[in-house]
C-alpha cells in the first residue's frame, strides 16, 4: 500500500488566521505543532490498517517547511522545500506518481472566491481570482484530485475546514473530516487537537479500507482538458504569458490546454510563479 499525504495549513486543527500561517506570525509555532499532530494522526491511522505501508508526506503550504520532521513516525518520508517550478513542478503533489494507491489531502481550505470561506484561496491568493477546470471554478481539492486522477490514483481522504465539504463532489466516495466549523473568513468553532487526533486516525484507517475494497475511483477529467486562471491584475496575466503554452483569453485570464491534468497543471504552475515575479518595490 503506497499512500501520498499532501499537507496544506489553512485547514489544519486550530488554524483560522493569517498570523498562524507564516514563520514571522505570532501563532505560527503553535500552528506548526497542530499541523504536525494532524499529519501524525493520519499516518498512525494508515499504519493501523496497513502496517507495511509506504507513506510519502508532501509539504504543500507556502514555504513548504512547516511539518516538524522529528515528530513524524519513521515509516514516512517527507517532501520538503518550496514549489519553485524547477524544484517541484507539481507543487503540492511533487513526488506523486502512478505507483501510489491513494492520495490524502490534509489541512485543506475552500477555493478562491468562496463567500465567507475560511482563509479561502486557490494556490496563490495574491494572484488567483478564479481557477477553472474545463470552465468550472475549482479549488485545490479538485485540481489535486484531477492531477492524481491523471495518474490513476484516487483521492481517499480530505481533512480540512467545514466549507471544503462543498468541493467533495470530485471524490464522492472519499472520507471527509472537518477540523472546525467555519464562521467566516478568519474565525471558526475549532475542535481541539485531542479530539481531531482521534477523528483523523479513524478516518485514515477507514480510507485505507476503502482503498483496499476498490470503492474509490480516480477523478479523471475529460480529455483534452483546459485549466484557466483569472488573475487580480493585468500585469500578472502579462507576465504569465512569458511561459510557453499559455494563451491569454482576456485581459486578466490565461488558459492552458492539453491531454491530461498533470501535464496541463505543470504549465499552469509555471505561469502562476511567473505572474508572481514582481519588480522590486522601488521600481514599481
Ligand atoms: Zn492551499
Whose CA is closest to 32, among 63, 74, 76? 63
What spacing in Å lies between the alpha carbon of 63 and ligand 1's midpoint?
A: 12
pLDDT band at 279 (very low <50, low <70, confident <90, very high): low
**Amino acid 153: pLDDT:** 98
Please indicate, yes or no, whether the overall pTM of this predicted structure exceeds 0.85.
yes
Domain 2-118+139-213 listed as CATH 3.40.50.10780: yes
**Amino acid 278: pLDDT:** 72
In percent, the amount of the chain with pLDDT more than 90 equals: 96
Q: What is the mean pLDDT of the segment spanning 31-56?
A: 98
Cβ-proximal residues to 172 (8 Å cutoff; 6+ apart), any chain: none
Whose CA is closest to 71, among 25, 24, 32, 101? 32
Q: What is the mean pLDDT of the segment spanning 65-82?
A: 97
Residues 141-165 have pLDDT tens digits of 999 999 999 999 999 999 999 999 9
Residues 236-262 have pLDDT tens digits of 999 999 999 999 999 999 999 999 999
Across the chain, mean pLDDT equals: 96
What spacing in Å lies between the alpha carbon of 25 and ligand 1's midpoint?
A: 17
**Amino acid 100: pLDDT:** 98
What spacing in Å lies between the alpha carbon of 189 and ligand 1's midpoint?
A: 20
3-state secondary structure 102-116: EEEEEEECCCCCCCC
What spacing in Å lies between the alpha carbon of 84 and ligand 1's midpoint?
A: 15
What spacing in Å lies between the alpha carbon of 121 and ligand 1's midpoint?
A: 7
CA distances from 251 to 2, 24, 135 (A): 43, 35, 17
What spacing in Å lies between the alpha carbon of 141 and ligand 1's midpoint?
A: 9
Task: Indicate the burial class of 49 (C-beta count within 10 angstroms; 0-12, 13-18, 19 or more).
Answer: middle
Cβ-proximal residues to 138 (8 Å cutoff; 6+ apart), any chain: 111, 122, 131, 132, 146, 167, 170
What spacing in Å lies between the alpha carbon of 122 and ligand 1's midpoint?
A: 6
What spacing in Å lies between the alpha carbon of 75 and ligand 1's midpoint?
A: 25
The continuous run of DSSP H or E covering 234 comes out as helix 234-240
Is residue 284 predicted with pLDDT exceeding 70? no
Task: Identify whether the C-beta of residue 16 lies closer than 8 Å to the C-beta of residue 8.
Answer: no
Amino acid at each position: 500500500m503506497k499512500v501520498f499525504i499532501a499537507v496544506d495549513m489553512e485547514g489544519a486543527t486550530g488554524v483560522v488566521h493569517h498570523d498562524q500561517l507564516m514563520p514571522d506570525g505570532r501563532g505560527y509555532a503553535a500552528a506548526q505543532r497542530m499541523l504536525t499532530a494532524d499529519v501524525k494522526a493520519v499516518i498512525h491511522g494508515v499504519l493501523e490498517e496497513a502496517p507495511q505501508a509506504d507513506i510519502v508526506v508532501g509539504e504543500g503550504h507556502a514555504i513548504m517547511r512547516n511539518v516538524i520532521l522529528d515528530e513524524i513516525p519513521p515509516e514516512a518520508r517527507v517532501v520538503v522545500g518550496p514549489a519553485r517550478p524547477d524544484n517541484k513542478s507539481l507543487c503540492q503533489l511533487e513526488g506523486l506518481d502512478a505507483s501510489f494507491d491513494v492520495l490524502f489531502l490534509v489541512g485543506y481550505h475552500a477555493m478562491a472566491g468562496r463567500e465567507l470561506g475560511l482563509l479561502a484561496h486557490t494556490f496563490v491568493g495574491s494572484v488567483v481570482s478564479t481557477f477553472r477546470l474545463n470552465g468550472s471554478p475549482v479549488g485545490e481539492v479538485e485540481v489535486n484530485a484531477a492531477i492524481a486522477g491523471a495518474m490513476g490514483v484516487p483521492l481517499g481522504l480530505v481533512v480540512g475546514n467545514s466549507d471544503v465539504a462543498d468541493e467533495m463532489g470530485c471524490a464522492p466516495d472519499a472520507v471527509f473530516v472537518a477540523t472546525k466549523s467555519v464562521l467566516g473568513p478568519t474565525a471558526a468553532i475549532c475542535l481541539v487537537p485531542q479530539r481531531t487526533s482521534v477523528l483523523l486516525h479513524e478516518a485514515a484507517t477507514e480510507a485505507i479500507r476503502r482503498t483496499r475494497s476498490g470503492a474509490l475511483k480516480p477523478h479523471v477529467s475529460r480529455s483534452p482538458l483546459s485549466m484557466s486562471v483569472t488573475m487580480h491584475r493585468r500585469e500578472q496575466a502579462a507576465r504569465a504569458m512569458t511561459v510557453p503554452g499559455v494563451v491569454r483569453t482576456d485581459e486578466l485570464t490565461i488558459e492552458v490546454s492539453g491531454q491530461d491534468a498533470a501535464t496541463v497543471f505543470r504549465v499552469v504552475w509555471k505561469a502562476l510563479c511567473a505572474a508572481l515575479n514582481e519588480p522590486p518595490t522601488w521600481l514599481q
